[in-house]
Amino acid sequence: MLKGVAASPGIAMGKVFLYTKKFAEINTRNIDASMVEDEIAKFENAIKLTKEQIEKIKEKTEREFGKDKAQIFEAHLMLANDPELFDAVVNMIKNELITADNAVNQVIEQHASMMESLDDKYLKERAVDLRDVGSRIINNLLGIVNVNLSELDEDVIIIAKDLTPSDTATMKKDKVLGFATDVGGRTSHTAIMARSLEIPAVVGTGNVTQNVAGGEIAIVDGSEGIVIINPSDDILKEYEDKLNKYKIRIEKLKELKDLPAVTTDGKQSMLVANIGTPKDVEGALKNGAEGIGLFRTEFLYMNRNDFPSEEEQFEAYKYVAEKMNGKPVTIRTLDIGGDKKLPYLNMPDEMNPFLGYRAIRLCLDEKEMFKTQLRALLRASAYGNILIMYPMISSVVEVRKANAILNEVKEELDTKGIKYDKNIKVGIMVEIPSAAVTADILAKEVDFFSIGTNDLCQYTLAVDRMNERIKDYYKPFNPAILRLIKNVIDASHKEGIFTAMCGEMAGDPLTTVILLGLGLDEFSMSASSIPNIKNIIRNVSYEKAKEFTEMVLNMSTPDEIEDASRKILYDIIGE
């Protein structure tokens, strides 16, 4: 049995397909000066072929997943078209008299290593993309053809060291039962794609590829983060029973789609979805979301050469508002910086980017960029129930500055006679401890709060949640976190405004009863989590939730609180 990160829930059982790639043996010999032009010509042909291949993958991804998911291959095309990289390879062939594959390998590795050395998660991720493109160019130079995942002809569990965007985009989705990889975390590309496809996945096992040769029977338990190779008959039978129960449970949860999230004694909560692209609305509606609690707008700005136009943004926001047909759609203004950078926006290199120039801080400085987004949001509000939310607020000063810019935009639209919702609600993300502590002051200035628990935990506990060595310190059950959440909810209710939550805690079954007892009004989560959370809420009384929450608020350690939460969850739904 191998343990990894539970990346996408569900159970998969089937034959192992070990996905390994032939690694190119680079020609390290020197060439004669007379061969330089031939090597450059080979390089040019390989670039041409690489661009054609990426274009085909991009088109396939766009057809199957939509334009937004295909944008990563737009970035790959930009890398393949990069004149700086092209010139560096050509110059190395000429000056050092080496083969084209050797030159490509050295140039790509130099650039990728430089990106990885920077304290910037976004650029580190781009290093993966650069190596992906570089490998494709080298394979084309050497005539290496790897296994094509689009040609799978039987149902399999894919086991690999890792899966690149190119791998997952080309694979035959209806033949993939599950994934298991050596590397990766919950935010890795493989994990995100598995959740998007609702395929069970376990990542970050360390060595699953070393335990298989291909053809074995394997079990991937994406809910528990377990991979079992060649299970015994007893284990196989146990997991067959688990899988059948899981399928029955999923079908039963689907029956709740159009029912309200109301406790046994009549307390109703709003269950809404987090989305990253307009296309994600389909999943939200399929799972019974009562609205959109967080629409991340970064996708419009990423993997491109310039800012999105006002019209492009307007169409995206309008599409979601209309699709939700009057249900609330909370749209977060641009939250760039930290681990997300824009290549066309001059942003400083920082020692601590998560504590630096990002989100609302950047928007207040880049006023025209901010106004363009606010204009698009206001115009779209005429077509549905849109709420505007500012991220990374630390004090009331930022709220007032942002609202002053919003009012400028409203006046401009009024002058031009352009329609918008005159009563549009404006709220803030509460994800910085200073905002949580001064929630009573902020509640007088806004229409709602949305607690971003991922960053709130990170900042309050001084834990980098991406750092493997200290990940055990990242505890949402920490009493300090629960007390901050209580303070925010209490302050909002005192001023007559509502509090939502859009971090991981909102979709975690273990925290549902506590959040219900604290009086959280709106739970915003990945769409696929909604039926499960709804089921918990519909099987507990509000009074019991309040009693339980009062009890855990007097506990001293995260482990005590988590153990108590597991027990009450079992009492409620038997899991």
Buried b (16+ CB within 10 A) or exposed e, 187-198: ebbbbbbbbbbe
Q: Residues near 410 by Cβ (< 8 Å), separated by ≥ 6?
A: 378, 420
One of 111, 189, 363, 457 is an active-site residue; which one?
189
Compute CA 425 distance to the chain's CA centroid, rounded to the nearest angstrom. 26
* Pairing state between β 201-203 and 5-8: antiparallel
Distance CA 297, CA 302 (A): 10
| Encoded amino acid at 337, one letter | G
| Type of residue numbered 27 | N
Let me know if 111 is a catalytic residue.
no
The answer to the question of whether 332 is labelled as a binding residue is yes
Residue with structure tokens 């009062």?
Answer: 550
CB atoms within 10 A of CB 352: 9
Q: Identify whether the C-beta of residue 115 lies closer than 8 Å to the C-beta of residue 130.
A: yes
431 is in an annotated binding site: yes
Rounded to an integer, what is the distance from CA 559 to the centroid of its chain?
27
Measured CA to CA, the distance from residue 395 to residue 434 in angstroms comes to 7
> With contact defined as beta carbons under 8 Å apart, do 4 and 205 qualify?
yes
Going by C-alpha positions, the residue among 51, 128, 141, 145 that lies closest to residue 98 is: 141
In the numeric block, the tokens 């010509």 are attached to 41
186 is known to lie in a ligand binding site: no
- Confirm whether 189 is a catalytic residue: yes
| Residue type at position 472 | D
> Which residue shows structure tokens 């219900």?
516
Amino acid, res. 305? N
Is 385 annotated as contributing to ligand binding?
no
358 a known binding residue?
Answer: no
**Amino acid identity of 281?**
V
Q: Is 454 annotated as a binding residue?
A: yes
CA distance 248 to 68: 33
Sign of torsion over alpha carbons 164, 340, 389, 537? positive
SS3 219: strand
Q: Which of 76, 363, 457, 502 is catalytic?
A: 502
Annotated binding-site members for phosphoenolpyruvate: 296, 332, 454-455, 465
Annotated binding-site members: 296, 332, 431, 454-455, 465
Annotated binding-site members for Mg(2+): 431, 455
Task: List active site positions.
Answer: 189, 502
